[in-house]
Chains A and B, each alone.
Chain A
Amino acid sequence: QSALTQPPSASGSPGQSVTISCTGTSSDVGAYKYVSWYQQHPGKAPKLMIFEVSMRPSGVPDRFSASKSGNTASLTVSGLQAEDEGDYYCSSYAGSNNVVFGGGTKLTVL
């Protein structure tokens, strides 16, 4: 499977909103509700922020929201804060117990 497509970078000022896209195909993002989003800070392990397209795990602020339309999923971070800066990765189930990740987006809080 090919990696999902994410923009390499995104940015916003504190308090603003930013949306990161994640484009796959009809065999992965478009076929299943199993899209997840992860936040990664430098030198740290990824942290689950969203699962099953739009569900937030306990402890993740409601500033983080996500959706999916067709073959493209999106993560929106509202009310940007300095600690939101980091790398964000989407992932999707791709059938036959396979998972595919996106290439990652570096979010900068200006």
Chain B
Amino acid sequence: QVQLVQSGAEVKKPGASVKVSCKASGYTFTSYYMHWVRQAPGQGLEWMGVINPSGGTTMYAQKFQGRVTMTIDTSTSTVYMEMSSLRKEDTAVYYCAREIQPHAFDIWGQGTMVTVSS
């Protein structure tokens, strides 16, 4: 079946970097854009950016430009999201999500909890 499986929870210190993976299966990986969305504890959803698995072009929300990098590995149908210079405010669940229709996300990963704490 179509699914996105993300890597496990991470605990990082302020100033460190984190890299979260999202492995796709059950569909043609290069046919659908992949987005990243985060959700701080008790808060709403926040769009972070998008990557085109066919070619690797990216677009990031202005808030994350310079601090987030999204990459792909087509050999393993995996998308990665790396965030640097982590702050306590980056503590959140990070989701990857497949874009099925323009700017609508039909398949979501299970989420990866990233905790930034000294």
A46 on interface, CB distance cutoff 8 Å:
yes
A98 with B61: CB separation less than 8 A: yes
Q: With A45-B109, A96-B59 in contact, is A101–B44 under 8 Å at CB?
A: yes
Give Cα A38–Cα B37 distance, bound, in whole angstroms: 13
Give the Cβ gap from A10 to chain B, nearest Cβ, in Å. Answer: 15
Binary interface encoding of chain B residues 82-118 relative to chain A, with 1 for a CB under 8 A from any of its CBs, else 0? 0000000000000101001111111011110000000
Give Cα A23–Cα B14 distance, bound, in whole angstroms: 35
Give Cα A96–Cα B103 distance, bound, in whole angstroms: 11
Size class of B's contact patch? Answer: 20 to 34
B102 with A34: CB separation less than 8 A: yes
Among B59, B95, B100, which residue has its beta carbon within 8 angstroms of that of A97?
Answer: B59
Q: With A45-B108, A46-B108 in contact, is A104–B44 under 8 Å at CB?
A: yes
Among B47, B59, B104, B109, which residue has its beta carbon within 8 angstroms of that of A52?
Answer: B104
Q: With A45-B95, A101-B44, A104-B45 in contact, is A51–B101 under 8 Å at CB?
A: yes
Binary interface encoding of chain B residues 48-61 relative to chain A, with 1 for a CB under 8 A from any of its CBs, else 0? 00100000000101
B44 with A34: CB separation less than 8 A: no
Residues of chain B within 8 A (CB-CB) of A36 are 103-105
A34 with B103: CB separation less than 8 A: yes
Give the Cβ gap from A58 to chain B, nearest Cβ, in Å. Answer: 10
Chain A residue at minimum C-beta to C-beta distance from B98: A48
B contact residues vs A (CB 8 Å cutoff): 35, 37, 44-47, 50, 59, 61-62, 95, 97, 100-106, 108-111
A contact residues vs B (CB 8 Å cutoff): 1, 3, 34, 36, 38, 45-48, 51-52, 55, 57, 89, 91-93, 96-104
